[in-house]
Amino acid sequence: MTSHVKNTLVTTAAIAGALAATTLFNTTTVKADTTNSAPVTTTTSATKDTAIASAQAKVNSASAAVVSAQAAYGSASTAASDAAAKTAAASASAAATSAATSSAVANAQAAADSAATAKSTADANLAKAQSTAAATSRAKSMTSAAVVSAQSAVASASAKASDADSAVASAEAGQTVTANLMKFDDPTQASAAQQYFATKTAIVKLLPSGQVQITIPLTSGLKYLKEVSYNGVDATFTKTGDDSANITFTADPATSYTLAMTMDITSVMPFMPIMHEKALLDVDTTIFNGLLAAKSAADAALTSAQAALSTAETNAATVAQVASKAASAATAAATVASDAAVAATSAATNLTSAQAANSTAQAALTSAQVAQSAADAVLATAKANLDSANAALTSAQAELKSAQNIVVVTPASSAASSASSAASSASSTDSSAASSASSAASSASSTDSSAASSASSTASSAGSAASSATNSAASTATATSNVASSASTTTVTSAVVATPATTKKATSSTPASSTTAKTLPQTGNENQSALVALGLAILTLGIYPMMKRKHA
């Protein structure tokens, strides 16, 4: 139980003891002087007893309500104290968690941001690398296609060059073509010299210069044909037999050539002069026109195609290397991007965990605060109920006191009996006051030493008050008895009595005076003193264990 609850119970016990003592004091004092007393009501004894009984019942009910409210207040105080402790623990835990997690959250947030940035950079690099790889791959395909195309062009050019080379080689080797000697002045008529060129053919060769070498086979008449020239250039005679030879001259490609011939037939016909005639050689050598140009073009095309192929192959090799590097870079970028994604996910998870831990601690604190608020509300309600019960008890005690202050008009002959009843009631009330003081001390024994001291003082005051009240009641009884002895009819005023639990006959002491006085002498009654002593003993027995436990 907390100190707050202990102090509350101790204080309540002390108040109860004080109230008991005060009630005992107030209900056992007989006042003869009514100068300062409250207004009284004169009635019969039966009516007063009924009023006192009713008020006493209300006091008892209010006392029970106070005890119940005190128990509820104690329970609510304990619950509120526990809730406050839990709230304090949750607050400390939340503070510690917040202090621990704030750094973790900040670090996790920074890590998550860094990982997200790294992932974004890695993704951008990956996209760029993939784009480069795709571009280089396309370039590689294009250069590969260019290489194939260049190879095809080389093959074609090579074939053409080969054909041109073959044609030129064939032309350079010489070809036999049709050739006829026609009259110069009548190309439609065969020349007289045609008889010596019986094959009617010519061998044509292509020269590197582009000209052609024409060879005319002279089958006979070598002894007569002395000279042959073309454009003033003598032809070359190469003997192939006694009367035959090959006549060769060089010229540009053409379809016919005018040859100058010198014929000497004087050996057979002395009277014939040496003849100088012209004959038209009808031979087509233009078949070789363009062969060298074609060969040159084919060779140039081949060379160009080969250069293009070489360039394409170089480009293809370069692009292939770039594409390979780009593909490797894309693969590496993909790995980096994947790692960055994993790191970003992990960082986000760590951040979520840190935030969840902080949220959990805050939720626990909020729950504890709600529980504390509820407990405080219950405590406030219990306090209000206790205050209401105490107010009701105070009201009932006031009603009881008012009933006890009722003045009863009795005959003189019965004054002694009334005094005896008052003394008996005071004795019973003394016993109740002592018992209440003992209960207050016993309740205080479970609390701290300061509360115990307070309860002890209250009980001691209650005992003193009870003793005084007993003496006052005894004095009242003695005075009343004296009045009865002298047969004087006197009305007792302001008699304050408690509701008797049992009817006991009070033992009167020797009267101090035989006449009615304003202030009655107070003497102790033996039974009342014994009850007071018993109450103080019980109170002391209740305080002693408490003090012993406090100092243990």
pLDDT in tens, 1-47: 455 545 555 455 445 554 444 444 444 444 444 444 445 556 788 89
Percentage of the chain beyond pLDDT 90 is 47
Q: How confident is the model at residue 537, as a pLDDT?
A: 54
Q: Using 50, 70 and 90 to split pLDDT, how confident is the model at 99?
A: confident
DSSP-assigned letters across all residues of 184-219 = SS-TTSB-GGGGG-TT-EEEEEE-TTS-EEEEEEE-
d(CA 283, CA 249): 13
pLDDT digits (tens, 9 = 90+) for 167-221: 899 999 999 999 999 999 999 999 989 999 999 999 999 999 999 999 999 999 9
Any idea which of 22-26, 287-291, 381-385 has the lowest mean pLDDT?
Answer: 22-26
pLDDT of residue 542: 53
- pLDDT tens for each residue of 458-513: 434 434 443 444 444 344 434 434 433 343 333 333 333 344 443 343 444 443 44
> ∠ at Cα 267 (265, 271), nearest 5°?
70
Quick check: pTM over 0.75?
no
The predicted-structure confidence for 156-179, as pLDDT tens digits, reads as follows 999 999 998 998 999 999 999 999
Look-up: residue for tokens 């019969």?
A: 44
Summarize pLDDT for 301-332 with one digit per residue, the tens.
999 999 999 999 999 999 999 999 899 999 99
* pLDDT band for position 448 (cuts 50, 70, 90): very low
Higher pLDDT, 411 or 270: 270
CA-only gyration radius of the chain, Å: 76
Per-residue pLDDT, 513: 40
Q: Which two tokens stand for residue 18?
A: 């004080």
Res 60 pLDDT > 50: yes
Which of helix, strand or coil describes residue 239? strand
3-state secondary structure at position 34: coil
Q: Provide the pLDDT for residue 407.
A: 87
| Angle between helix 3-27 and 291-404 (nearest 10) | 20
